A = this chain, B = another copy of it.
Amino acid sequence: MSQGFPDLYQTMLRAKAAANALGASGGKARNDFLRALSGLIESGFGAVLAANLRDVEKARAGGSGQALVDRLTLDEKRLRELNAGLAACVALPDPLGRVEDLSTRPDGLVVGRRRIPLGLIGFICEARPGAVVEAAAMAIKSGNALLAKPGRESLETSRLFGDLIAEALGQAGLPPGAITVLPDLGREELKFAIAQDGILDLVIPRGGEGLIRFVADNSKVPVLKHYKGVNHLYVDRLAETGMAIGLTVNGKCNRPSTCNALECLLVHRERLDDFLPAAVGALLEKGVRIFACERARAKVPGLGEAAEGHFGREFLDLTLAVKVVDDMEEALAHILKYGSRHTEAICTSDLGAAGDFLARVDASCVMVNASTRLNDGGCLGLGAEIGISTSKIHAYGPMGLRELTTTKFVVTGRGHLRR
């Protein structure tokens, strides 16, 4: 089992043992960790920012693009937000221990489902160094151990966060193996780690499609992931013009690099005279490049020509595909063909159309008169989010604390036998 990487294997066994201990830990010790980590980050602001600056300078010197440098950079505001997230996590109810669906069977057997942690979770991320802190907080809050591999570009920041996390575990009296941050892990070691079925219970990759495919292809353990968010807004015949423009602009421009950004606008053919030109004007003002179908271009001259490859594409920048549809059936067919089951929205004031759309679209989050950008654990009330799943197994959509747990059956009898 440990061929090639005996040290890593021992580290993983230590993490697994810590997972077993964490399962029996109380909610108080787990919250103590969150408070201790928050305090250590607060008093270590200067050191964290200095370590981060070294990462940023190295990335710049290595010729990294501005987008990566942006995601990599921590400033005092971002650190304060990170700490506010830890405080919010303390305030969330303990996801563990509750017994659900308790019932007494006709023969008197008492059956319930007790909420328990998953065990040991592998977390692999890129660029944004705060992600490891957030994942550690959610793992401990939900009683799971975590093995975290941050991106190489955040090496210095991640090492320091790893030290602070280790110290916070000690202060809270939790086992040191409960969170293991491995910023130096190489690609072959990572492959070895995610193949350890029986040690890891779940792997969550966060990052670009390349990283996620690498993890999915090499893992022997269940992986919760989404590859991409190809998200549509369908502007229905009965959409309010102002609302539809707001949803379009917010979906595309609020933060184009995220997975819940809008990538394709579907417009009902009766909305070509009022909505379409106004929406295009608002988008162009924001600097959006538009690739549109023939019918849209005939109505609003000067738009780029949509090629087949523009549909089903995740642009991740200020680019938008636009297509005119005859009716909702055509919109639904387009979404079924090109969507990625991430986030799909309709703008309409027609209750029947809204109900049909909610019922018939297969996506982790289906929205009526709301921006696709709101498909986010925080906005939807999960409190915190460790990722978004577009597979239907275990979780579909944003994953909060509950998605980091499962239930075991707890059964009490009085000598009950099977007949």
Residues of A within 8 A of B (CB): 20, 23-24, 103, 105, 109, 111, 114, 116, 118-119, 201-202, 222, 224, 240, 242-243, 246-247, 250, 254-255, 336, 354, 358-360, 362-371, 373-376, 379-381, 391-398, 406-418
Complex Cα–Cα for A376 and B243 (A) = 52
Q: Which residues of B contact A202 (CB under 8 A)?
A: 392-393
Complex Cα–Cα for A375 and B417 (A) = 11
Copies of this protein in the complex: 2
Interface centre among A358, A363, A368, A408, by most chain B C-beta atoms within 10 angstroms, is A408
Q: Which of B243, B250, B397, B413 contacts A370 (CB 8 A)?
A: B413
Given contacts A119-B362, A370-B412, 7 further A-B contacts (CB under 8 A): A105-B379, A222-B391, A240-B415, A242-B415, A365-B408, A368-B411, A374-B411
12 contacts between A and B (CB under 8 A): A109-B379, A111-B381, A365-B408, A365-B410, A365-B411, A369-B413, A369-B415, A370-B412, A370-B415, A373-B418, A374-B416, A375-B409
Residue of B nearest to A415 (CB): B243
Determine whether the beta carbon of A416 is less than 8 Å from that of B366.
no
Determine whether the beta carbon of A393 is less than 8 Å from that of B394.
yes
Determine whether the beta carbon of A413 is less than 8 Å from that of B119.
no
Determine whether the beta carbon of B412 is less than 8 Å from that of A379.
no
Q: Which residues of B contact A362 (CB under 8 A)?
A: 20, 23, 116, 119, 408
Q: Which residues of B contact A396 (CB under 8 A)?
A: 406-408
Determine whether the beta carbon of B246 is less than 8 Å from that of A417.
yes
Residue of B nearest to A412 (CB): B368
Determine whether the beta carbon of A409 is less than 8 Å from that of B365.
yes
Q: Which of B109, B116, B369 contacts A416 (CB 8 A)?
A: B369
Determine whether the beta carbon of A413 is less than 8 Å from that of B336.
no
Q: Which of B242, B247, B366, B412 contacts A354 (CB 8 A)?
A: B412
Complex Cα–Cα for A118 and B395 (A) = 11
A222 nearest CB across to chain B (Å): 4
A304 nearest CB across to chain B (Å): 26
Residue of B nearest to A354 (CB): B412
Complex Cα–Cα for A409 and B390 (A) = 12
